[in-house]
Structure 1
Amino acid sequence: MAQGKIVQCIGAVVDVEFPRDQLPKVYDALKLEGTALTLEVQQQLGDGVVRTIALGSSDGIKRGLVVSNTGNPITVPTGKATLGRIMDVLGNPIDERGPVDHAQSASIHRKAPAYDELSPSQDLLETGIKVIDLICPFAKGGKVGLFGGAGVGKTVNMMELINNIAKAHSGLSVFAGVGERTREGNDFYHEMAESGVVNLEKLEDSKVSMVYGQMNEPPGNRLRVALTGLTIAESFRDEGRDVLFFVDNIYRYTLAGTEVSALLGRMPSAVGYQPTLAEEMGRLQERITSTKVGSITSIQAVYVPAD
């Protein structure tokens, strides 16, 4: 396992120097020795130096600390072990219910399915909310955006959808909380537990997996937490299931990308957004698709800013 040392730290951006013949690849996960902090490689600067984003608090980091290269991208637990659990961007449990089984795990950076694997669907997804089913029915395996300003009920709508679909169709859901309020995440969990969607007595019988990267966390966490949730949803789809993937809020994903881009010193585009916005969003959305094995239906809350 190649080792390097920190040569510069500016907030969430950490530069690490490695021997030139052992340079980490872009998106490799690096571990800071003696801590639980993970760094993700974003750029290779030359002369053996890589620029990374800290997926956690960078408090206490100083030059000269030893960093190890894991040689792989961030991997998170997937499958039934994640049901009923709340995890962070790295797949660590944050619900104080013990460790999550890593018997089944996958990298958060994966390619989208090839064209010949895709399966168009013309089935409708019955949500149980009559006004939606009548006026604006959802297509199974499609994507739906819930657009609105602050405090108009996007999250409440999502909670109702998960509740209805889990009870009526016994379907599995994955909820990714991207840059939203911790209070809302807490309310969501307790409401799911009260309604039986999260089975606290027998977690593997739960119908939802939850991944949280809330607004108080560093930008690297908020940027990657949507990919963590999507990786779990993909694992259920590849088992032949029909999965619902909820993202609350996809705009905060864009905002986290803007912060990371600015920290990395990239030239901003219009309104300060990152120049790689279309590519980052496209890479995420291309993976949210249905194959001949199973389907992912995605419902994403979209906060509409005033800019």
Structure 2
Amino acid sequence: MRFKADEISSIVQREIEQYKTHLDVAEVGTVMEVGDGIARVFGLNSAMAGEMVEFDDGHATRGLCFNLEENSVSIIVLGEDSHIREGMTVKALGALLEVPVGEAMVGRVVNAIGEPLDGKGPISTPHRRALESNAPGVAERQPVKVPLQTGIKAIDAMTPIGRGQRELIIGDRKTGKTTIAIDTIINQKGKDCICVYVAVGQKESSVAQVIEVLQSHGAMDYTIVVVAGSSDPAPLQYFAPYAGAAMAEYFMYEKGQDTLCVYDDLSKQAAAYRQMSLLVRRPPGREAYPGDIFYCHSRLLERAAKLSAELGGGSMTALPIVETLEGEVSAYIPTNVISITDGQIYLVPDLFFAGVRPAIDVGISVSRVGGNAQIGAMKKVSGSLRLDMAAFRSLEAFAQLGTDLDKATQSQLDRGYRMVELLKQPQYQPLDIFDQVMVIFAGTRGYLDTVDRNEVHRWEEEFIKFMRDEEVEARKLLENQKKITDEVETALKASCEKFSKRWVHAHTSETQTVGS
């Protein structure tokens, strides 16, 4: 048999074209020891900090390179480490940790790596985003000047929050910190704002109650809940806030939407990070926290911003929560987070247990954005409210000494007591911003001075109903102008005087009826 040269050359050419030049090469290492969610691995000499790895344990368990040492790599195990044994193979994946993001996440309850926990089936989304990403630079931001109303009178009037701001909620346990955050989420209904609630180190029963409240108020329609409960491993508690930020960033960058992130709470995240750092033998600093604990929180909170118009104008507003012990605001983690944020809302146990809820200490609470985060009407009516309330607290302490007070001081004290009652608010009942303006207008202009302190809440309810049902024109004028112009002030004064006469007449009739 003779071979033709052209046939042989065509076969050789085809073989060369089909020859695979790409070899599937992966860097592998060997597990030396494992325990407490940390695996020490020999090998992986080219591993990057934060790179994902996969254990050959039959469950495809994944981990993350946390500490790069001279002869080994300490890896955080993302999930159950009971299947991992000494001598097992570990493969580097050459990618950083990512979480699923997108519209499919809205209304779902997920863990720190985006896996569903609500029993509603898998989440189908083509979008993924790195857990960690750089915060936008100064040139990529614009000033915070659009209000993000919480629906809470004491906050919207005295410590307002703007879209893109970072406002710390701080106080002892059981003082209503989570309630403020949940009220703010509920108040975003119909305002085209995607909310992310991140529960770190909370009891599962407490998180279930929060989810139930959000569902009953229709807030889950625009909310993502990220849960790393108290029974979850420390790595998941550490990653959860970053995962929540990544999910919000998708809407901020890709859709140009406003978002709100609640981190509840960062003191538990710091404790989880300390646990991980001590396990990999990083040198402990103050209170045994690692030296980069400040960076841990700053790189999270700096991702909150109001983006420039060129980048779509989206925003991320951050409401971090920090728990204090016995009101110790000067402790390590609280001072760290205070220095990163644009203000703080400080809740006091004494006021809380005295029935003043929200229990906000107006002396320490502050918003560094201030009036820029308020509509003109609220800025006008609440201008001196914060100073007046702080002065009232000092005057109240003085009056408790039993000193005789002159008429002017006594009237100032009486108005202060009524304003305290007026600023009280039941939980999960956020108030429309224009209702807030009208109520505070009436209180600061003295229309409540003759109302009994115990009747203030009832007066407020009836006044809001009266303005909505009967004084429609005055309310509509305020809504349209959003400022206290001479025209609006005249209309509001007329409405307040009309209601005051009706209140006095009705109250007098009630008293006579009870007397007879």
Counterpart amino acid of residue 64 in structure 2: E
Which residue does 2:316 correspond to in 1?
296
The Cα of 1:212 is off from its aligned counterpart by: 0.8
| Match status 1:160 vs 2:178 | no
Counterpart amino acid of residue 212 in structure 1: V
| Match status 1:179 vs 2:201 | yes
Q: In structure 2, which of residues 44, 61, 74 is the aligned counterpart of residue 37 of structure 1?
A: 61
Q: In structure 2, which of residues 65, 70, 74 is the aligned counterpart of residue 46 of structure 1?
A: 70
**In 1, Cα distance between the equivalents of 2:44 and 2:256?**
44
Is 1:12–1:263's contact at 8 Å kept on the other side of the alignment?
Answer: no
Percent of paired sites with the same residue: 24
**In 1, Cα distance between the equivalents of 2:301 and 2:319?**
12
Is 2:228–2:240's contact at 8 Å kept on the other side of the alignment?
Answer: yes
Which residue does 2:231 correspond to in 1?
216
Q: What is the TM-score normalised by the length of structure 2?
A: 0.55
Which residue does 2:491 correspond to in 1?
none
Q: Deviations over 1:159-182 (max 9, x none)?
A: 1111111x2423210111111221
**In 2, Cα distance between the equivalents of 1:207 and 1:36?**
33
Counterpart amino acid of residue 108 in structure 2: R
Which deviates more from structure 2 when the two are superposed, residues 134-143 or residues 10-19?
10-19
Is 1:39–1:52's contact at 8 Å kept on the other side of the alignment?
Answer: yes
Which residue does 1:143 correspond to in 2?
166
Name the SS of the counterpart of 2:29 in structure 1: strand
Query: Which structure 2 residue ranges, 5 or more long, are not aligned?
Result: 1-25, 332-516
Q: In structure 2, which of residues 210, 232, 246 is the aligned counterpart of residue 231 of structure 1?
A: 246
Name the SS of the counterpart of 2:302 in structure 1: helix
Name the SS of the counterpart of 2:164 in structure 1: coil
The structure whose residues are more often strand, as a share, is: 1
Which residue does 1:191 correspond to in 2?
213
The structure whose residues are more often helix, as a share, is: 2
* Structure showing greater Rg: 2
**In 1, Cα distance between the equivalents of 2:186 and 2:44?**
52
**In 2, Cα distance between the equivalents of 1:62 and 1:119?**
52
Q: Deviations over 1:195-247 (max 9, x none)?
A: 2222xxxxxxx200111111111111111111000000111101200101111
**In 1, Cα distance between the equivalents of 2:185 and 2:299?**
25
Instruction: Show the 5 A alignment for 1:73-84.
Output: 73-84=96-107
Counterpart amino acid of residue 226 in structure 1: P
Query: Which structure 1 residue ranges, 5 or more long, are not aligned?
Result: 199-205
Which residue does 1:13 correspond to in 2?
38
**In 2, Cα distance between the equivalents of 1:183 and 1:69?**
37
Which residue does 1:101 correspond to in 2?
124
Counterpart amino acid of residue 321 in structure 2: A
Which residue does 2:295 correspond to in 1?
279
Provide the aligned length of Structure 1 versus Structure 2: 296
The Cα of 1:36 is off from its aligned counterpart by: 4.8
Q: Deviations over 1:260-286 (max 9, x none)?
A: 111110121112121111221221122
**In 2, Cα distance between the equivalents of 1:168 and 1:102?**
24
Q: What is the TM-score normalised by the length of structure 1?
A: 0.91
Is 1:126–1:133's contact at 8 Å kept on the other side of the alignment?
Answer: yes
Counterpart amino acid of residue 195 in structure 1: H
Q: With a CA cutoff of 8 Å and minimum separation of 6, indicate the structure with the bigger relative contact order.
A: 1
Counterpart amino acid of residue 213 in structure 2: E
The Cα of 1:63 is off from its aligned counterpart by: 0.3
The Cα of 1:62 is off from its aligned counterpart by: 1.4
Which residue does 2:257 correspond to in 1?
241
Q: In structure 2, which of residues 260, 270, 275 is the aligned counterpart of residue 254 of structure 1?
A: 270
The Cα of 1:157 is off from its aligned counterpart by: 1.8
The Cα of 1:287 is off from its aligned counterpart by: 1.5
Is 2:192–2:258's contact at 8 Å kept on the other side of the alignment?
Answer: no
**In 2, Cα distance between the equivalents of 1:128 and 1:74?**
37
Which residue does 1:202 correspond to in 2?
none
Counterpart amino acid of residue 113 in structure 2: L
